[in-house]
Amino acid sequence: MDTVQQKPTADKLKPKLFSVLKTYSKEQFVKDLVAGVIVAIIALPLSIALALASGVNPEQGLYTAIVAGFLVSFLGGSRVQIAGPTAAFATIVAGIVATDGMDGLILSTVMAGILLIVMGLCRFGKLLKFIPNTITAGFTFGIAATIVIGQVKDFLGLTFQNAPIETVDKIAEIFRCLGSLNVSALLIGLLSLAVLILWPKKLEKIPASLIAVLLCSAVVKLTGMNVNTIGDLYTISSAPPKFVLPHVTFAGIRAMLPNAFTIAILAAIESLLSCVVSDGMIGSKHRSDMELIGQGVANIGSALFGGIPATGAIARTAANVKNGGRTPVSGMVHSAVLLGILVLLMPYASMIPMPTIAAILFIVAYNMCGWKNIRTMIKTAPKSDIAVLLTAIVLTVVFDLVVAIGAGLVLASLLFIKRMADVTEAHTWTDADDEDTDPDNIQRKKIPARTRVYEINGPMFFAASEKYRYMLDGHDFDVLVIRMRDVPAVDAAGVETLSEIVKGCRKNSVQVVFSHVNEQPMHAMEKAGLKEAVGAENFCPHIDVALLRAEEIVKSISAK
């Protein structure tokens, strides 16, 4: 009887929520409820801080956590993923808002969501692992650096003369305006940092960011210190998210496409990285393609309800797991609690000091920068990898993420090509090595008279094509045996090189015999007409057969 082989669960395009509800219990609901409430308390100050760092109003950070957080839990491919605004998007969003306004941001985010859905439907979830770790580590560190630079103004209470957008311009403006340092703001910032650093060492269960917000808000309010608060700079709304449609034009779509691509790639990388981390914590297996679809729908929903780009938040996801969350229900609870806080308590957010927000973002940047990983890479990685890493860092800070990822991928690809070319070689053997135990080694074979044997190791592609031309040097042979057992693949340049070798041999009355041609090279050579030109009888499955064929050819030539 025929059986139908089912795809592994991890590859299903089915939300995890629908799978876990089959065995859901009241006991697990209680755990998810507790975890959801705790994660919401953690997400509250972070969502506000990240919204301000992104150049939007504080409530828009909560809109993102509410809408995107709910949709990712409802449709995503992870059991415990918590989604919302993250530090990785802060500088990107701030740049889009500054140059193209909220309409540009909404359009970019909706387009990014569509791209994410397409990526999931096309099963691109596994392909993102091919982005080198050096690039990911580089732009993550670069983003962390830009966040720190962007918050120095509020931490020191500086009064800027200009409103710079680019990071390099912000650095120049900071030094230009150091004379406007506000000592009160600096003291509140330092107090906030002290709480954020020391509090977790004593009471980890209560979020340090919440304590810093409550304590510093009370200090500023009770002492009347001259420190800017959120209410001094922003108009805060406690209204729930409302549906908003952007103004859409073809010119706008074309202009926002690079931003949409950046948001989609970053959302995919960060969300899947968070899934991998959480899988290790709970012993589960996420569905990467479904996660991309869920993230896509979440970003579209977030943008249309006044939010900003969202992705999986590693720190909040880890907090969810540590507090007992084991199903997507905890993420949905987290969104519901944040909605209640938005409606009931949001006006009190106007009292939060800006230096406290800056301090929270300093800690976020420190936690995301991965400096230990960077240090290890610099100490142990090859110079080429270090070059890619530093390039990604510098370009992220000086320009933007699009330039950093693009240039990093190009540089990494070129260096990879060089490495492959360096390890690809063609050589011939004369004397046997007593320590070599390979029975198929050319050195241990009896090579017929007037026969030259070459063995090619590594892929034959454009960067290494010049390495094989010396096979034609000299004319003291009648048969050229080319052994290709260690050639996994050839490209068009490799096939062209082989064709030139065959033509050159034919011109000098030399017969070419191929040994052990693998599947892909054989297919490429057949398409190019090489098998027909050389003769099918001269394609041998093993070196022993190829040497016998060479001996036959030499004898037939001698008999003439």
Residues 515-532, mean pLDDT to the nearest whole number: 92
What was the pLDDT predicted at 427?
Answer: 63
Residues 300-319, mean pLDDT to the nearest whole number: 93
Structure-model confidence comparison of residues 236 and 16, the more confident one: 16
What's the pLDDT band for 234 if we cut at 50, 70, 90?
A: confident
Asked if the model's pLDDT at residue 428 lies above 90, the reply is no
What was the pLDDT predicted at 481?
Answer: 92
Asked if the model's pLDDT at residue 280 lies above 60, the reply is yes
- Cα-atom radius of gyration of the chain, to the nearest Å? 31
What's the pLDDT band for 203 if we cut at 50, 70, 90?
A: confident
Rounded to whole angstroms, the Cα distance separating 520 from 492 reads: 12
Asked if the model's pLDDT at residue 508 lies above 80, the reply is yes
pTM: 0.75
Residues 215-221, mean pLDDT to the nearest whole number: 95
Which uninterrupted H or E stretch holds 453?
A: strand 451-457
What was the pLDDT predicted at 327?
Answer: 96
Rounded to whole angstroms, the Cα distance separating 540 from 547 reads: 9
Asked if the model's pLDDT at residue 9 lies above 80, the reply is no
Domains in the chain with CATH codes = 9-412 (no CATH), 426-559 (3.30.750.24)
User: What is residue 512's DSSP assignment?
Assistant: E
Asked if the model's pLDDT at residue 420 lies above 80, the reply is no
pLDDT tens-digit readout, 443-474: 567 888 888 888 888 888 777 766 676 676 66
CA angle 216, 219, 223 (to 5 degrees): 150
Asked if the model's pLDDT at residue 433 lies above 50, the reply is no
What's the pLDDT band for 220 if we cut at 50, 70, 90?
A: very high
CB 380 within 8 A of CB 65: no
What's the pLDDT band for 328 if we cut at 50, 70, 90?
A: very high
CB atoms within 10 A of CB 39: 34
Strand, helix or coil at 338? helix
What's the pLDDT band for 504 if we cut at 50, 70, 90?
A: confident
What was the pLDDT predicted at 213?
Answer: 93
* Mean per-residue pLDDT of the chain: 87
